[in-house]
Amino acid sequence: DFATRVTDSGKTDTALRGDYRHVQPDFTIDQGWDAYSSADHALWRTLYDRQSALLPRYAAREFLEGLTRLDVRDGIPDFRRASDVLDRATGWILVAVPGLIPEREFFEHLAARRFPVTNWIRKPEEMDYLVEPDVFHDFFGHVPLLTHPVFADYLQAYGIGGAKAIALNGQEHLARLYWYMVEFGLINTKDGLRAYGAGMLSSRGETQFCIESPSPHRIGFDLERVMRTQYRIDDYQQTYFVLDSYEQLMNATAVDFTPLYARLRSLPAIGPTEVLASDRVFTLGTQGESHKAA
Ligand code: PHE
Ligand code: FE
């Protein structure tokens, strides 16, 4: 049941906001670019300007370079035009969807280097927080890094791994890897920690929080550690995991997960604020700040 897909918004009821009446069997739709109002485009520009002003201080260089290359500051992007840019960069294209889609179809799109992007935009009163991903989260958050060759290859490998996880009943563990490393990943650079995850980079509050706040833990990436760690979906993260490079993520996940899923089943989950003796701690959080996102 796709409403229980937890890799993105964690929404668990079936009352999804998009219009699913005209979906193809693979859950894609026409973007309907001509139907956006001038208010929709203006809202995109406001979100874009606000967020891009923060990025030089907080975002990974590769994300910024991808965003610049996409050239989408003027309004909600036409996915066909953006797909041309992306295809030239890494061979990925974008497909429009009405919102969250079933896990199996989501994985199939990624495995074929198609990134599903929600076509609708949030309401003005939802500038700072919304429950389901919209076009701003999906596009602004996820697409820039898809211009990066290693990250682009990683996300395809993740999609291929998804079908296998379903067969091995490893979806919950695999979903944590998506959550922590695709939605909320940090990377260690010579200028300090930087954000590259879509979840924080599409949120004004969390973009600053994930780098500046003394509250969350920031812990070096370890595959099994990440896959054991529970997360919260209704607030800023209490723990972020830090990559040394995108290659590190690619290499660590290149192994066969079959024995890993078996082992993970016998290991207890780790709470979102726990720190282990084996952790490589970048910053030990106070867990003191009110994280509330909205
Ligand atoms: N290597 C994983 C497997 O064998 C697949 C995978 C790749 C999962 C990349 C996540 C990320 O199942
Ligand atoms: Fe997302």
Categorize the per-residue pLDDT at 9 as very low, low, confident or very high, splitting at 50, 70 and 90. Answer: very low
Ligand 1 in reach of 256 Cβ (< 6 A) = yes
CA of 226 to the centre of ligand 1 (A): 14
User: What percent of the chain lies above the pLDDT cut of 70?
Assistant: 94
Ligand 1 in reach of 253 Cβ (< 6 A) = yes
Ligand 1 in reach of 158 Cβ (< 6 A) = yes
3-state SS of 219-266? EECCHHHHHHECCCCCCCCCEEEEECCHHHHHHHCCCCCHHHHHHHHH
Give the pLDDT score at 4.
40
User: Is residue 54 classed as helix, strand or coil in its secondary structure?
Assistant: helix
Atom number, ligand 1, closest to the C-alpha of residue 154:
9
Nearest to 263 by CA among 168, 140, 128, 158: 168
Whether the predicted pLDDT of 278 surpasses 90: yes
Whether the predicted pLDDT of 197 surpasses 80: yes
Whether the predicted pLDDT of 10 surpasses 70: no
Whose alpha carbon is nearest atom 5 of ligand 1?
161
CA of 150 to the centre of ligand 1 (A): 14
pLDDT tens digits, 29-60: 999 999 999 999 999 999 999 999 999 999 99
Ligand 1 in reach of 157 Cβ (< 6 A) = yes
**Residue 235 corresponds to which tokens in the numbers above?**
């607030």
Which runs of E-coded beta strand occur in the chain? 93-97, 114-118, 186-189, 192-195, 217-220, 239-243, 281-283
pLDDT tens digits, 201-257: 999 999 999 999 999 999 999 999 999 999 998 899 999 999 999 999 999 999 999
Domains of the chain (ranges; CATH) run 20-283 (1.10.800.10)
Radius of gyration of the chain (CA): 18
Give the pLDDT score at 1.
38
CA of 86 to the centre of ligand 1 (A): 23
Ligand 1 in reach of 257 Cβ (< 6 A) = yes
**Residue 43 corresponds to which tokens in the numbers above?**
């809202």
- How far is residue 255's CA from residue 262's CA, in Å, rounded to a whole number? 14
Give the pLDDT score at 14.
60
Strand partners, 242: 186, 220
**Residue 83 corresponds to which tokens in the numbers above?**
């797909």
Nearest to 177 by CA among 131, 110, 84: 110
Categorize the per-residue pLDDT at 291 as very low, low, confident or very high, splitting at 50, 70 and 90. Answer: low
